[in-house]
Amino acid sequence: MNAAPTLPQHPPGTAAATGSARAWTVTALLVVFMMVNFADKSVLGLAADEIRADLHLSATEFGLANSAFFLLFSAAAVLVGLLADRVPPKVLLLAMALLWSVAQAPAAIGGGLAVLVTSRVVLGAAEGPAFPVAQQATLSWFPDHRRNLPSALITLGVTLGVIVSAPGLSWVIRNHGWRSALWVLAATGLVWALAWSVLGADGRHRTDGEPAVRTAGPSGSPAAVPYRKIFGSPTWIGATAAYFTSYWTVALMLVWLPSYLRNALDHPADTAAVLVVAPWTIGAVVLLAQAVLTGRLMRRGVGSRTARGRVGGWILALGAACLLAQTLVDGSTAKTVLVALGFGLGGSYATIAVTTVAELAPPGRSGGSLGVMNAVVTSAGLVAPAVVGALVDAQGDTGYHTAVLLSGLLLAVGAAASFLLVDPARDIARLGR
């Protein structure tokens, strides 16, 4: 009998180190992916005054043009989220990045409002699934107790996308026109797609943190829990409601914050281009602090109800307090500080929502659970820009302040939902897992 082949020997920890290095390489690429994604979203807000002047748009028309971005955004998030449970995330992410670049071209070439709206609708459909699929792809490289930091980093890509791109895109817009900025973004998307095709890869962990071996559930299926039970759980409802209010503030930062700083608070264009990154910078600090705090609490055995639900609730409550206090102070400096703090805190719930739902969802249901949540949440992007545009046309500059007050009230509702409803351990037991 022939001797069994000898397996190659590796130094202890080599395989784990290699896997860890690949996990963080993929995570870094997906951070850049989200940076490009939100640079795409922010460009119209940075060029708001130039686009309105060029295309002769009212505030309502401009708001509707931005809302058009989200027309198919949510539907695409649902469809691709469900598809992500069957198609490798690497393939989906590559296809999305290529579509982003193609979608920028029509408006970059020329045309009026109709071309701009059509281009944004297509771009929104391509970008709708980006965040949940990027999160799913990242989390598949890490077990549950190690997911808070990588998930926060993916969310941080949202913030970095605006922080890094805003000054450069603002310069391009002022010196070369807003259409040139679209060409810059199209080229950036293509470069990322090339890097991902070479370095991207799918992970080995399911959303429950175990190795990705298909194991039958109670009914003999790896996905025995129906979606309706997940979507009907208080945790999914609470996390989604809180995240909706958070995304409302994100949508306003993307679309109307530059105009608010220039027109309602009388900051010069150059100053506004710098100040617009302030809430995003605050949000970045909050995201990282939340990830560290939540991870530390969970390692000490504190449940997700506190480590995620209550920590997230306090973040939204503090954001709400800052935005509501803005109505009580005078002077552009005080208002700018409070709005930056309020929007920075208020827009920082995404990581909590994603890791909570990833913990709740059983194997085979993560893509759909995250995708549907993202669809519901990002409908705020469809409504918020149009609402603020109508307020500005009806009330003038006062409409901006009314929008800030409305955002504060919504964040207070989101904080209550996070405090009262989010309890993954309770709902995992109810789902029979």
Quote the CA–CA distance of 353 and 424 in Å, as a whole number: 11
Task: Give the C-alpha separation, 340 to 375, whole Å.
Answer: 26
**What pLDDT is attached to residue 335?**
93
Which amino acid is located at 363 in the chain? Answer: P
Contact between 53 and 263 (Cβ < 8 Å): no
Cβ-based neighbours of 372, under 8 Å, separated by 6 or more:
77, 78, 81, 227, 231
Residue 207: exposed, middle, or buried by beta-carbon count in 10 A (0-12, 13-18, 19+)? Answer: buried
Angle between helix axes 234-255 and 311-325 (nearest 10 degrees) is: 40
Average pLDDT over residues 235-261: 92
* pLDDT over 50 at 215, yes or no: no
Per mean pLDDT, which range of 226-230, 262-266, 429-433 is the poorest? Answer: 429-433
- Note the pLDDT of residue 220: 39
Q: Taking all residues of the chain, what is their mean pLDDT, rounded to a whole number?
A: 83
Map residue 152 onto helix, strand or coil.
helix
Would you say residue 24 has pLDDT above 80?
yes
Does position 203 have pLDDT exceeding 80, yes or no? no
Q: What percent of the chain has pLDDT over 90?
A: 29
Q: What's the pLDDT score for residue 8?
A: 40
Give the number of other Cβ atoms within 10 Å of residue 235's Cβ: 26
Q: Read off the amino acid at residue 27.
A: T
Each residue of 361-413: pLDDT tens digit? 887 787 778 878 888 898 898 888 889 989 998 998 889 899 999 999 999 99
Residue ranges in 86-231 assigned as alpha helix (H): 89-109, 113-127, 130-139, 148-176, 178-199, 227-231
pLDDT of residue 11: 43
Instruction: Give the pLDDT of residue 346.
Output: 95
Distance CA(205)–CA(11), nearest Å, equals 23
Put simply, whether the predicted model's pTM sits higher than 0.85 gets the answer: no
Q: Residue 422: its pLDDT value, please?
A: 95
Question: What percent of the chain stands above pLDDT 70?
Answer: 89
Over residues 96-103, the mean pLDDT reads 89
Quote the pLDDT of residue 433: 66
Pick the closest to residue 150 from 164, 162, 134 (CA basis). 134
- The closest of 181, 208, 156 to 35, measured between CA atoms, is 156
